[in-house]
Amino acid sequence: MNTIGTTITPEIVLRRLAPEIEVCTFRTFDAFERLTHFVTTRGRVEPANPFSTFNLGRHSGEDLSAVLARRARLCEALAIPPERLVQPRQVHGNEVRIITPEYFTWNTAQQGEYLSQADALVTGMTDVCVAISTADCVPLLYYDARRRVVAAAHAGWRGTVGRIASRTVGAMQAACGCDPSDIYAAIGPSIGESAFEVGDEVTADFAAAYPDYRDTVITPRQGAANRHHVDLWAANRLDLLSAGVLPEHIVTAGICTCHRNDLFFSSRRAGGKLFGRFVSGILLR
């Protein structure tokens, strides 16, 4: 990976992984040897093309062969076979699956069934990239530097209410013996509080999930619609802290996908129309 990049936020650097692939990386994770991680960008913006130009979403509505070809190029840049890029089905839940060597002995149908209800993956295997795709939802990346375990989680608003951030930490503990105090966690580019206007039913779910931090997670009613906004970054940080991750081990990209639609795909910016997805992944060398 090109080590010369452009600083986007204090924690995020834009780098070139391959001639056609630009990614963002976290400075905190960049410091670890034999750890590769990335958040892909949308590529060159073409106003008439909602998938321009590096959509990696397999269920985005774009021709699947084009998406798979891009995913193959990403894997080539990562120097791993395409089957070593493992992604859960992402059903906006809070289930976590562990990727072990046994997983790679299964056929495609068995692998698909195993991942069918998952929104997060954990592995201690080398040269296996666990990844998730998003377009406003929160991508979470984890690394235990002592046990050498990585994880990736998809925290949509339902997953955030379902405390998927802490459930992933719990899975790392149970399956790999991780100590939460050894885990580093990164909150990736996703919709920010100012853009995430929600209805009363969503507000009620967050109030129930984070009763002690209601005023931190939910803002007062505002704007012409007089609706609440929700801070997904704050909610997931609180959830990580509740699991025992140290505050100094949690980093946030600080990039709103809705506001930086030039860099990332955004469901809300698309307004219900077609849109692509970007991928966040992490692997051990």
CATH of the domain at 138: 3.60.140.10
Answer yes or no: is 20 within a domain. yes
In a domain, 226, yes or no: no
Whether 1 maps to a domain, the answer reads no
Domain contains 215: no
Q: List pLDDT tens digits, range 6-31.
A: 999 999 999 999 989 999 999 999 99
Look at residue 209 and tell me if it is in a domain.
Answer: no
Q: What is the pLDDT along the chain (285 residues), one digit of tens a residue?
A: 655 689 999 999 999 999 899 999 999 999 999 999 999 999 999 988 999 999 999 999 999 999 999 999 999 999 999 999 999 999 999 999 999 999 999 999 999 999 999 999 999 999 999 999 999 999 999 999 999 999 999 999 999 999 999 999 999 999 999 999 999 999 999 999 999 999 999 999 999 999 999 999 999 998 888 999 999 999 999 999 999 999 999 999 999 999 999 999 999 999 988 999 999 999 999
Q: What is the count of structural domains for the chain?
A: 1
Whole domain around residue 181: which residue ranges?
A: 6-196+231-284
pLDDT (tens digit per residue) in 140-190 = 999 999 999 999 999 999 999 999 999 999 999 999 999 999 999 999 999
Q: Is residue 201 part of a domain?
A: no
HEC-encoded secondary structure of the chain:
CCCCCEECCCCEEEEEEECCEEEEEEHHHHCCCCEEEEEECCCCCCCCCCCCCCCCCCCCCCCHHHHHHHHHHHHHHHCCCHHHEECCCCCCCCEEEEECHHHHHCCHHHHHHHHCCEEEEEECCECCEEEEEECCCEEEEEEECCCCEEEEEEECHHHHHCCHHHHHHHHHHHHHCCCHHHEEEEECCECCCCCCEECHHHHHHHHHHCHHHHHHHECCCECCCCEEEECHHHHHHHHHHHCCCCHHHEEECCCECCCCCCCCCCHHHHCCCCCCCEEEEEEEC
